[in-house]
Amino acid sequence: MSEHPMSTDAEVESTAFTDRDRVEGEHEAASVRAVLINRPRQELYAFWRDFRNLPTFMENVKSVEVMESGRSSWIIAGPAGADFELVSEITEERPGEYIAWRSLEESDIDHEGWIEFRDNAFGRGTEVRVFISYDPPAGPVGKVVAKVLQREPRIQARRELRRFKQLMETGEIPTSKAPDAAPRADRHL
Amino acid sequence: MRALTWHGKHNVQVDTVPDPQIVNPRDAIIKITATAICGSDLHLYDSMIPGMSNGDILGHEFMGIVEEVGPRSTLKVGQKVVVPFVIACGQCFHCGKQQYSACDNSNPADKSDASEIAYGYPVAGLYGYSHLTGGYAGGQAEYARLPYSDMGPIVVPDGIEDEKVLFLSDIFPTGWMAAENAMIEPGDTVAIWGCGPVGLFAIKSAILMGAARVIAIDHLPRRLELAKKNGAEVLNYHEVKVREALMEMTAGIGPDACIDAVGMEAHGFAPDNIIDAVKQETKLGTDRQHVLRETIMACRKGGRVSVPGVYGGIGDKLPIGAFMQKGLTIKTGQTHVQKYLPQLLELILEGKVDTTDLISHRLPLEQAADGYRNFHDHPDEWTKVVLKPH
């Protein structure tokens, strides 16, 4: 468990973040984030639960292969062009509400996490909360490298959750990548 | 295509850049027929807005003809559209409340960390206005890609001159929202700092909304003349002490509403402004909020302060006591352009508002760099520059 205080986007006081047990992971670093998505809970759950959909909004996930008995195999783009393989197993599942998982021993990254979908009590859509806990690949040095390359898992998780919201609410993921989406001049002068 | 690009402080030029492409289903590409330089572009020109990158295309006031559409765009090839400078998805919580400039989704995920850190939450994407607001290419170019093109660009009737509708992209709705935020009631006196394009549209809007009296403040004679032609009484702050003059003109009660149409680069030689200017120059501070202070001090008890002027960072020495003790209401924000477009287009088509009197110069896009320099260096003669890319 990280000794750093956790930052969240929660707009209301939430048990998800005040209940310490729920956000204490077994690994060195942890990240938790909440987002309000203006779509029905079942639709969001169903999209996420089909793990093959995840590479559409998780930029560093190259592919997900779904295997038997709640297992899936992930190829993740790591720092400096290296790929990681992660085999994950569902540890708890409540259809429409909650999925928890953890990595199996053969994985390159030790990792566990959960995602929760709740109806917003005030009719504002679905509250989605994600928790991940992990040992940074290749220890502290790996974390620095990952940060420089913007592949630090915590930053990545924040951006992936944003892209998930964008995709589910608007049907696409906004981009301003040069040159096609946003042309720009070559740097000179 | 050709486009006006940013290369550092007071360094813009027209370059050849790649053409934009359709990348998302809701995108459209337009061929730009008219575009303008905004006063807020001068904050970029002066390098006052963080998050600019060498080679960025500027421009957020533009219109054109639809050239190509993605499968989910509702626009049709050949339609003429004016583009709101704010990019909005139309489907998030904020768009549902018509708070389009607070759109949750239009700022790309890899660009929105900075504004989340600076402002607590990520802000909407804007065209051509730094990577803090999305890193989108601007419209001072031959072509532009419009994300979420079904949500905002307004189709204008065939045959209407570009110049009459071009300012729906920003300064007309911005002046209009500034006046709406001033919550004008019959009999009200509205004081407006800054007679640039937004200030002028705020004057026009306040009068359309029924203000009894509009008092406009600037120091540039031609801009004051334009304000006067639009029905405002004017004060030149080089000639009078503004607060004393306002007290005298309103028989001591003060203006009911004050509008700061200046923002972060206020001019003038008031002591607080000189301190702010030094701090800005030495990077100890970011914004010169002299006008904001003035509006708070000058506003009557129980009055309203409206701030369309752009601020980007951290300020200090705000007269917070005057704000609280007088019970003022302050409203501000980037304009929720999409909300206002249908009604403002209607006002233009009915001939109820002159949207072209502020244009002083029309230039081909190739001369855009001259346009920036002159708009910046000679604001008295250069009140508004329209660029023609084709």
Q: Which chain A residues touch B107 with a CB distance below 8 Å?
A: 174
Average pLDDT over residues A21-35: 71
Q: Do A184 and B145 touch (CB under 8 A)?
A: no
CB B39 within 8 A of CB B47: no
Q: Which chain A residues touch B8 with a CB distance below 8 Å?
A: 189
Helix (H/G/I), strand (E/B), else coil: A91: strand
Q: Which chain B residues touch A173 with a CB distance below 8 Å?
A: 24, 108-109
Closest partner residue to B105 (CB to CB) among A150, A170, A181 is: A170
How many CB atoms sit inside 10 A of residue A11's CB? 14
Measure CA B70 to chain center: 29
Average pLDDT over residues B361-383: 97
Read off the pLDDT of residues B232-256 as tens digits, 9 standing for 90 and up. Answer: 999 999 999 999 999 999 999 999 9
Helix (H/G/I), strand (E/B), else coil: B137: coil
Q: How far is CA A75 from CA A59, A80, A85, in A?
A: 11, 15, 5
Q: Which chain A residues touch B26 with a CB distance below 8 Å?
A: 170-172
Mention every residue, 6+ apart, whose C-beta is less than 8 A from residue B279: B285
CB B82 within 8 A of CB B166: yes
Quote the minimal CA–CA distance from A69 to chain B in Å.
33
Q: Do A183 and B57 touch (CB under 8 A)?
A: yes
Question: Tokens 């009999």 map to which residue?
Answer: B187
User: With 0-12 CB in 10 A as exposed, 13-18 as middle and 19+ as buried, what is B377?
Assistant: exposed
Q: Which chain B residues touch A181 with a CB distance below 8 Å?
A: 20-21, 23-24, 145, 147
Is the pLDDT at B185 greater than 80, yes or no? Answer: yes
Choosing among A184, A187, A189, which should be mutated to test the B contact, i.e. which has the most B CBs within 10 A? Answer: A184
Where helices occur in B21-112 by DSSP H, the ranges are 39-45, 93-96
Share of chain B above pLDDT 90, in %: 87
Q: Do A184 and B147 touch (CB under 8 A)?
A: no
Measure CA B326 to chain center: 28
Is the pLDDT at A172 greater than 50, yes or no? Answer: yes
Helix (H/G/I), strand (E/B), else coil: B198: helix
Supply B229's token pair: 């032609």
Mention every residue, 6+ apart, whose C-beta is less than 8 A from residue A13: none
Is the pLDDT at A147 greater than 70, yes or no? Answer: no
Q: What is the pTM of this model?
A: 0.91
Please name the CATH architecture into which domain A15-170 falls: 2-Layer Sandwich (3.30)
Quote the minimal CA–CA distance from B89 to chain A in Å.
6
Alpha-carbon torsion angle B169, A177, B32, B203, nearest 10: 20
Kindly indicate the confidence band of residue A141, based on its pLDDT and cuts at 50, 70 and 90. Answer: low
Quote the minimal CA–CA distance from B213 to chain A in Å.
42
Q: Which chain A residues touch B57 with a CB distance below 8 Å?
A: 182-185
B128: nearest CA in chain A?
A182
CB B227 within 8 A of CB B208: no
* Bridge partners, B385 (sequence order): B37, B361
Read off the pLDDT of residues B140-149 as tens digits, 9 standing for 90 and up. Answer: 999 999 999 9
Q: Do B106 and A183 touch (CB under 8 A)?
A: no
Q: How many CB pairs under 8 A join A and B?
A: 125
Is the pLDDT at B74 greater than 80, yes or no? Answer: yes
Choosing among B106, B110, B115, B127, which should be mutated to test the A contact, i.e. which has the most A CBs within 10 A? Answer: B110
CA torsion through residues B37, B40, B46, B47, sign = negative
- Amino acid (one-letter) located at B16: T
Fold of B172-332: Rossmann fold (3.40.50)
Read off the pLDDT of residues B79-135 as tens digits, 9 standing for 90 and up. Answer: 999 999 999 999 999 999 999 999 999 999 999 988 888 899 999 999 999 999 999
Average pLDDT over residues A91-98: 96
- Distance of alpha carbon B29 from alpha carbon B69, whole angstroms: 6
Which of B351, B390, B386 shows the shortest CA–CA distance to B166? Answer: B386
Average pLDDT over residues B294-311: 96
Read off the pLDDT of residues B312-341 as tens digits, 9 standing for 90 and up. Answer: 888 888 899 999 999 999 999 999 999 999
pLDDT given at position A9: 41
Helix (H/G/I), strand (E/B), else coil: A162: helix
Torsions phi, psi of B117, nearest 5?
-70, -45
Give the helix/strand (H/E) hosting B340. helix B337-349
Is the pLDDT at A57 greater than 50, yes or no? Answer: yes
B2-170+335-388 maps to which CATH number?
A: 3.90.180.10
In chain B, what are the domain boundaries?
2-170+335-388, 172-332
- Distance of alpha carbon B233 from alpha carbon B216, whole angstroms: 6
CB B246 within 8 A of CB B254: yes
Choosing among A172, A173, A187, which should be mutated to test the B contact, i.e. which has the most B CBs within 10 A? Answer: A172
Is the pLDDT at A187 greater than 80, yes or no? Answer: no
Quote the minimal CA–CA distance from A91 to chain B in Å.
29
- Distance of alpha carbon B282 from alpha carbon B17, whole angstroms: 35
Give the helix/strand (H/E) hosting B15. strand B12-16
Kindly indicate the confidence band of residue B379, based on its pLDDT and cuts at 50, 70 and 90. Answer: very high
- Distance of alpha carbon A61 from alpha carbon A174, whole angstroms: 18
- Distance of alpha carbon B389 from alpha carbon B272, whole angstroms: 42
Measure CA B378 to chain center: 19
What DSSP line would sit under B201-250, residue for residue? Answer: HHHHHHHHTT-SEEEEEES-HHHHHHHHHTT-EEEETTTS-HHHHHHHHT
Q: Which chain A residues touch B96 with a CB distance below 8 Å?
A: 38
In chain A, what are the domain boundaries?
15-170
Question: Tokens 């209009």 map to which residue?
Answer: B176
How many CB atoms sit inside 10 A of residue B72's CB? 15
pLDDT given at position A138: 60
